[in-house]
Amino acid sequence: MKHLESTSLRALEVALRHLDAGFSDLPDFDASAPALNGIQSVLLEAAERLRDNYPYFHPFYAGQMLKPPHPVARAAYALAMWINPNNHALDGGRASSAMEKEAVAQIAAMFGWQEFLGHLTGGGTMANLEALWVAGRLHPGKTIVASDSAHYTHQRITAVLQLPFEPIATDPDGSIDCAALEHRAARGDVGCVVATLGTTGTGSVDALPEILRLRDRYHFRVHVDAAYGGYFTLADNLTAATRAAFDCIPQADSIVIDPHKHGLQPYGCGCVLFRDPCVGALYKHDSPYTYFSSKDLHLGEISLECSRPGAAAVALWATQRLLPLIAGGEFAAGLSASRRAALELATRLSESDQWVVPFPPELDIVVWSPRAKSASEASAQSRRIFERAAANDLHLALIQLPVRYFAGTHFEADQDHILCLRSVLMKPEHANWIDEIFERLNLAAS
């Protein structure tokens, strides 16, 4: 195949035969294979339908946080589908529960935690929900705060949990305004501060060292939402300030990181970690019909979701087995490459008269605006360039940014926001495609 990797299918077939041999003691039975033609024609129809997508796998897709999983994750997930384990209870997925515990321990170790409580979730929203649920249980009635650039999920989750929530202003680099945070915390009723290490829009990193200093004074919990940015702790090319924030993550009370973003996993794989394993007591519940097969920990006993795909754990375990989460390793090199791509694109944009970059990327997300007389004119140009680039196979994204992020650029502020171009350069291959991306971008703007 030209673009889509398929050699892993051969490894999958060998592994599938090995799996099958593990059940050879059982009496034979006819696993009634349905007619191949039927499956083939439906699959071809599905393939036809799936062609209606942006090419997320290609370096010219440089828009949102989307990329295909690693081939080993894809194959391991598929392999597990012949069992379809459920990691809710050990009787539903013995091996995959053990693999989840190992894989999650490796993620915790990446943040320096040996003792912790954690598990996989359906995604970042569910993982953050559990972290804020715990925060609410430990500080009932107190307010949860997050920057106004934090993921919108925090506001929605707190509404679901019926916890008070307040946004805190951001600095012009998209990170939380620590003076505003201190001002708010001084009122004494903040129960939890969400520190985002890698905002969804701009990849901005909140100043975690300063937030932790404020925790000493005001005694709130600190929850790190590193759903997007967490794996960048392994990158070797962060700025000193960003590195300082990542190095403080182990001091947080809870962490969310999404293997289905930068961890090379299929969707349906978030992860929540708690520094204090005692929070497991908050999850305590009885079930008359589960947890009977073993006295060992069933993951359902420490998670709010019940059924969860064991296959997600198998895929994550396999990926981390092939690409361990270590600084200097192959996986880490992928993160550094994405960041190099972002730095290179931001440098080229800043050096050109045509574009304005409000602040340099902290991770691998670049935001920029066409240079124009006014905010409204820049916004109209962004949309036009976005559409023209897409027509020429370069897929970017759009984001509304406050005009105040562009202080000193002299846009006439005829509106509060500027619609900007945005690019998430999350594939390591992007590092070798900046020439072509920049060329097509300029073509779209000409």
Ligand X SMILES: Cc1ncc(COP(=O)(O)O)c(C=O)c1O
- Residues near ligand X, by CB under 6 A: 65, 123-125, 128, 151, 153, 196, 200, 225, 227-228, 258, 270
Residue 362 Cβ vs ligand X, minimum distance, rounded to whole Å: 13
Residue 250 Cβ vs ligand X, minimum distance, rounded to whole Å: 19
Residue 5 Cβ vs ligand X, minimum distance, rounded to whole Å: 24
Closer residue to ligand X in complex, CB, 126/302? 126
Do 225 and 197 contact (CB within 8 A), yes or no? yes
Closer residue to ligand X in complex, CB, 228/355? 228
Report residue 424 as tokens. 């998430």
- Short-list 107, 134, 104, 89, CA closest to 298: 89
Closer residue to ligand X in complex, CB, 153/381? 153
Closer residue to ligand X in complex, CB, 130/225? 225
Residue 161 Cβ vs ligand X, minimum distance, rounded to whole Å: 15
The Cα–Cα gap between 105 and 98 comes to: 11
Residues 298, 299, 301, 306, Cα dihedral to 10°: -110
Closer residue to ligand X in complex, CB, 154/298? 154
Residue 166 Cβ vs ligand X, minimum distance, rounded to whole Å: 18
Query: What is the 8-class DSSP label of residue 410?
Result: -
The Cα–Cα gap between 197 and 219 comes to: 20
The Cα–Cα gap between 402 and 417 comes to: 4
The Cα–Cα gap between 223 and 132 comes to: 8
CB-based closest residue to ligand X: 124
Closer residue to ligand X in complex, CB, 130/258? 258
The Cα–Cα gap between 241 and 212 comes to: 14
Q: In what order do the strands lie in the sheet with 143-147?
A: 117-121, 270-274, 254-257, 221-225, 190-196, 143-147, 165-168
Closer residue to ligand X in complex, CB, 199/369? 199
Residue 128 Cβ vs ligand X, minimum distance, rounded to whole Å: 6
The Cα–Cα gap between 37 and 49 comes to: 18
